[in-house]
Structure 1
């Protein structure tokens, strides 16, 4: 009797055939993917075009109202100048400020914590203090105690800082530190874009008379200048040499800097290392008098004390 044999198993498996059960699922999810892509696209368009909304708005910088137009800052250092001389300096500043509706800030060297830095750094922190106390001022003018305002008719915001006037005064493509610094002032800087006005004497930049426009940039500049790193470094002329350093090596500061003729805001008495004062100039300074002794500034200034009083009385 013959029985049917079972089918023999082959050693060759059948070729692999991919499952087709995923294709219906893919077909089912394709509309969802298209809908998500469309939603993403329209969301992107919405975000790009809603520039006027609060979500995407960039806060506008605060614009000072110009009240007062200028704050005149002077540091009173009784260790360098005698009391009688400092009193004439205060009178000089107060009378000039009253004439033009400006405010004054007289800082004492013991008023701020300098963390052991030389007292000359008081000038920088005093300017920061002026911006805090007078947030609506347009300009801060620092003029140190070694001099007088001689021409009361010159108005800072009109005769110097007005953009067209300032642009005519600016020295463009000019060495920042004389005589041959490779770092130069910007050649295309416009008057309305200037936030810092300086002068030079024969030794370099002068920090004895300078003007800062009130802005966020001004705070950045002064805080950079007052950085503990610079105050702890043994610069020969402390804050003045620190100023020369940051102006030359920080493009953000150089880009807002204008250097003007020294006699515009910073004339020197005869014999000092700078442009000599001439009658009619805005300011006269005695930058070396404190090095001689507290009485020297008073003696050097006597002639000019009478001159500025006559000039103020006639206006």
Structure 2
């Protein structure tokens, strides 16, 4: 495990220098933009060297919640999520950070959903050895706990198996946007991994690599003009806008099939439904609907049966579990 203390980030280079590095590096590796054609297919990415066991551990799981006593109409959902996340992290040697979203205050009364972005920055700062941050919304159950996220979607084989190439991107209400995912990619240049549903992209479950591109993206994602929009899915729509209108965002992004990392329960018509073997189930948009509690309980009972570490049980019983333990400073 790594040092949990917050560190100070180094000062950034000049903006033009960062942009040049991004646009001249990861920004130019798709057909038509001067990259080597031998890297245009997912099959070619299989030749990459396998990640070391240490590299697999350099992933930090991050969840945020807003301090409410009940979620999805259930009084003990946070305790269940804590058990789920820590059990997974312990099994695979990962770190886990649960942030109190209300403590990462953005100016001008921004919807709390936007606080996801400063939390990501904080996670990179607190875990300086982390190569990837894995964000999971609180309304997600990891169903297949034996499946390592690296092997599943980050490894060359996992990415090749699950990525959607030259695939149409839907918009709100399932309408066509005219955008498609890239027809090719180089595994080593991917910095952002998420999945698609029937309404487009969903940032409830995604992975971001530590890179200059990611520093730049987190800055752009918090554009005040985006925050001021009356979007239905605030930070999600902000991300979609960036992806659709900026090639520099599209290029290093891998869009995966929904079953690989963001399947929905069977009442949700906005995407593919969870099937046995899928990694997670995401109760996106469930809120306090009466159907949520029963659906959550159903899937909770169907998750992989693994032994919960004794210390997790003890902390939950004693009321000292690190739920929302990470606090942000004034922003």
Give the 3-state SS of the residue equivalent to 1:301 in structure 2: helix
Residue 281 (structure 2) aligned to one of 278, 281, 284: 284
Tell me which residue corresponds to 1:216: 212
Say if 1:175 and 1:183, in contact at 8 Å, map to a contact too: yes
Per-residue CA deviations over 1:206-243 (Å, capped at 9, x if unaligned) read 11111111212112112211222211222222111111
Q: Does 1:264 align with 2:256?
A: no
Tell me which residue corresponds to 1:47: none
Q: Does 1:166 align with 2:159?
A: yes
Say if 1:177 and 1:244, in contact at 8 Å, map to a contact too: no
Tell me which residue corresponds to 1:274: 271
Give the 3-state SS of the residue equivalent to 1:197 in structure 2: strand
Bigger drift between 214-223 and 170-179 goes to 170-179
Per-residue CA deviations over 1:20-78 (Å, capped at 9, x if unaligned) read xxxxxxxxxxxxxxxxxxxxxxxxxxxxxxxxxxxxxx9xx9xxx84842111111234
Tell me which residue corresponds to 1:71: 60
Q: Does 1:90 align with 2:87?
A: no
Which whole-Å CA distance do the structure 2 matches of 1:67 and 1:150 have between them? Answer: 20
Which whole-Å CA distance do the structure 2 matches of 1:163 and 1:118 have between them? Answer: 37
Q: Does 1:110 align with 2:105?
A: no
Matches within 5 A, 1:112-127: 112-115=104-107, 116-127=109-120
Unaligned runs of 5+ in 1: 1-57
Give the 3-state SS of the residue equivalent to 1:200 in structure 2: strand
Cα distance change of structure 1 residues 161 and 301 upon mapping to structure 2, 3 Å threshold: same
Matches within 5 A, 1:111-260: 111-115=103-107, 116-178=109-171, 180-260=176-256
Tell me which residue corresponds to 2:302: 307
Task: Name which structure has the greater RCO, CA cutoff 8 Å, separation 6+.
Answer: 2
Per-residue CA deviations over 1:146-186 (Å, capped at 9, x if unaligned) read 12001011111122101233133221222333553323222
The structural deviation recorded for 1:297 is 4.0
Say if 2:83 and 2:308, in contact at 8 Å, map to a contact too: no
Say if 2:63 and 2:98, in contact at 8 Å, map to a contact too: yes
Unaligned runs of 5+ in 2: 1-20, 26-53, 310-331
Tell me which residue corresponds to 2:18: none
The structural deviation recorded for 1:269 is 0.4
Give the 3-state SS of the residue equivalent to 1:224 in structure 2: helix
Give the 3-state SS of the residue equivalent to 2:180 in structure 1: coil
Say if 1:72 and 1:141, in contact at 8 Å, map to a contact too: yes
Per-residue CA deviations over 1:115-154 (Å, capped at 9, x if unaligned) read 1110111222211211111121121111101120010111
Matched positions, count: 250
Bigger drift between 90-99 and 132-141 goes to 132-141
Which whole-Å CA distance do the structure 1 matches of 2:150 and 2:225 have between them? Answer: 34
Say if 1:290 and 1:297, in contact at 8 Å, map to a contact too: yes
The structural deviation recorded for 1:87 is 1.2
Task: Give me the TM-score of the superposition, normalised by structure 1.
Answer: 0.73
